[in-house]
Structure 1
Amino acid sequence: MKIASTSGLVAAGVTVLEGVVKPIFASNELAQGTTQQGGMIYRTLGRAKEKISVIGLGGHHIGRPKDEQEGIRIIRSAIDRGINFMDNCWDYHNGGSEIRMGKALQGGYRDKAFLMSKIDGRTKAAAARQIDESLKRLQVDTIDLMQHHEVIRMEDPDRIFAAGGAQEAILEAQKAGKIRYIGFTGHKDPLVHLRMLEIAAQNNFRFDAVQMPLNVMDAHFRSFERQVLPRLIKDEIAVLGMKSMGDSYILKSNVVKPIECLHYAMNLPVSTVITGMENLQLLDQAIAAVQSFKPMDQSQVAALLERTRETALKGQSELYKTSNRFDGTAKNPEWLG
């Protein structure tokens, strides 16, 4: 089967038809940019050519165990089992997730990890300060991918790209060798993502990666998959999927199982699917999803979407889109600067 990757429309094995991504399959063939090693699938980070695991370890969740050592154990176990994409953020658990990650990456683990973090600052000063704080907590000189976090308002792109805005700090940090690649994240509305891409283009900038919700419910409601994904593939921007289970709200619908959620997201032309693993059982589940993954054909995808359609239509399983429950910067506006 051909597994979708993110190294261009042809290499990705996808066609774009009326804004909907349609996978193309070819028997006994892996798509360009996709490799397998030791039971883990690795895909290319867009045009950057970095190899990252198809499953990424969610940064917020490794800060949830009460015992710091348990969080460190999860991180190292994930890396030992082939997961090299490490998600994190300046604001997760007031920096606690980054501190745990920094400790876990000691003893040779840093060389095995592709390290990503995010900042909330919208001003140059706030962003620069947060970048330096993340570097200190993570105990590294360079973060592989730094992303503008929670781009959820229509005005966020303007603030980020304004004179004296956060993008200036990001670019200066990249020039100084503090970060390698640049991206942004958001979970609210695909129109905000599209506007961020447009404002970036107006400023002659193309992101290396974009993170967004991709799951069996999103396909039906205010859909990032249908509205944003084709644009990212066209522009050779790496796609980072998140919220495959909607922070468990999708599972509470009782119409889909965890492995199905992970398989659906992995079946899209994503570089990685970031998922929470606050215990070793969830790490086992993620590894099992990779090991059991077989690219889904059109009929399999259609059947799964038909099963989830009615539940998804009002967005009740995607509260990050329809409520402010997941909007950390709305609750803490001082993070924006």
Structure 2
Amino acid sequence: MEYRVFGKTGYKVSALGFGAMNLPGVPLEQARETLNYALDQGINYIDTAAAYKNSEEIIGACISHRRSEYFLATKTAKRDYEGAKEEIERSLSRLQTDYVDLLQIHYVNYPAEMKEIMSEDGAYRAAMELKAQGKIRYIGLTGHRPEMLAKWIDKGDFDQVLFHLSLPQPFAADDLIPSANRWNMGKTAMKPLSGGFVQPVDKALRYPVSQDIHTLISGMVSVQEVDENLRALEAVIEPQEQQELAQLAADMGSHDCRRCNYCSCPLEISIPDVMISSVIRSKFGLLPKGEAFYEKHKEKLTSCADYDPCKEQPLCEPKCPYQLPMQRVIQETASTL
């Protein structure tokens, strides 16, 4: 296992981290076996959140007795002081621990949210108070708009940042990582498979690890998946492969969607899923979860071209901060189904 110094924290984290968001979907004994196996293999970064159903409780029940062996990160999506303080205290109880190594203020995509978080009665104040009490060691920020995250972290208020970095979403490499480096922040990448869509899996995992990050969190729910992830990252990534992966990511990211979720569709089409998978789908095909998505939503996708309110002006596109041709991509994709 490769370990990297996690920015200003000084902690050596495993290059492969454990994302616990999907654990509530499997039996408790399977979750217990998977978490303990991951720790046995040297994975020492565990990521969860208050919003991930009972993920925190699973971690507390399964590995709290091994607390000294892992760096524990959780999240609050509350924006106000009282709500955040209450949620963080509840997380500590669920995780069966006196402290978390990292508390991340979660899923911040709008300037108004950030303003509220950093206000006198905002979530950041709650995090700072609990840090002073020893219940939080470090404070981080997460979101889906790398260029906005770069702006928000550039005052030195945060110790870590969590962001998308994958073959079809490579944008943080240019938009965010340089800003994080200026402040010696911990850099955590997420969603290498973009929610279970992207293949080939080995390249999907090796690309973010080949970039200037500290740890990659991958959602694993079985011993088999832990082994698959470890095997994919076993070989050293040489400079030539790093360049090849970077070029592939540039090609696969040509759709330009950041999954910021500003857009919405009256037909309830999941626009980011279509946009992000559009290029990689045509080149490599998709994992079973991705193919199932298209099968499930085929009728919605093919209805786009005939939806009268969007014929003159698509309702989704004015909401996109990146001015992306979403209607065209959806209709082109629908024509291949």
Matched, 1:69 2:29: yes
Residues 226-241 of structure 1 correspond to what in structure 2 (within 5 A)?
226-241=174-189
SS in 1 for 2:111: coil
8 Å Cα contact 2:169-2:249 kept in structure 1 = no
> Taking every aligned residue pair, what percent have the same amino acid on both sides?
26
Change (3 A) 1:306 1:246: same
Residues 315-334 of structure 1 correspond to what in structure 2 (within 5 A)?
315=256, 319=259
What's the counterpart of residue 81 of structure 2? 124
8 Å Cα contact 1:151-1:192 kept in structure 2 = no
What's the counterpart of residue 195 of structure 1? 151
Residues 12-23 of structure 1 correspond to what in structure 2 (within 5 A)?
none
CA shift, 1:72, in A, is 1.6
What's the counterpart of residue 4 of structure 2? 43
Residues 113-192 of structure 1 correspond to what in structure 2 (within 5 A)?
113-187=70-144, 189-192=145-148
Matched, 1:296 2:272: no
Residues 262-301 of structure 1 correspond to what in structure 2 (within 5 A)?
262-292=205-235, 294-297=236-239, 299-301=240-242
Matched, 1:88 2:48: yes
What's the counterpart of residue 215 of structure 1? 166
| CA distance, structure 2, for counterparts of residue 48 and residue 326 of structure 1 | 37
Normalising by structure 2, we get a TM-score of: 0.74
Q: Deviations over 1:288-320 (max 9, x none)?
A: 13322x1331x433433444544431247x656
Change (3 A) 1:321 1:266: farther
Structure 2 stretches lacking a partner, 5+ long = 265-269, 273-337
The equivalent position to 2:196 in structure 1, one of 220, 245, 248, is 248
Change (3 A) 1:313 1:149: same
| CA distance, structure 2, for counterparts of residue 323 and residue 73 of structure 1 | 39
Q: Deviations over 1:124-143 (max 9, x none)?
A: 00000110110010010011
SS in 2 for 1:103: helix
Number of residue pairs matched by the alignment: 267
Matched, 1:106 2:64: yes
8 Å Cα contact 2:50-2:74 kept in structure 1 = yes
Change (3 A) 1:287 1:130: same
Change (3 A) 1:182 1:275: same
SS in 2 for 1:250: coil
What's the counterpart of residue 58 of structure 1? 19
8 Å Cα contact 2:17-2:217 kept in structure 1 = yes
What amino acid does structure 1 have at the position aligned with 2:225? L
Between 164-173 and 281-290, the greater mean CA deviation after superposition: 281-290
RMSD of aligned C-alpha atoms?
A: 2.1
What amino acid does structure 1 have at the position aligned with 2:195? D
What's the counterpart of residue 225 of structure 1? 173
| CA distance, structure 1, for counterparts of residue 245 and residue 88 of structure 2 | 41
The equivalent position to 1:313 in structure 2, one of 220, 232, 254, is 254
Higher relative contact order (CA 8 A, sep 6+): 1
Matched, 1:79 2:22: no
| CA distance, structure 2, for counterparts of residue 160 and residue 315 of structure 1 | 28
Normalising by structure 1, we get a TM-score of: 0.74
8 Å Cα contact 1:53-1:83 kept in structure 2 = yes
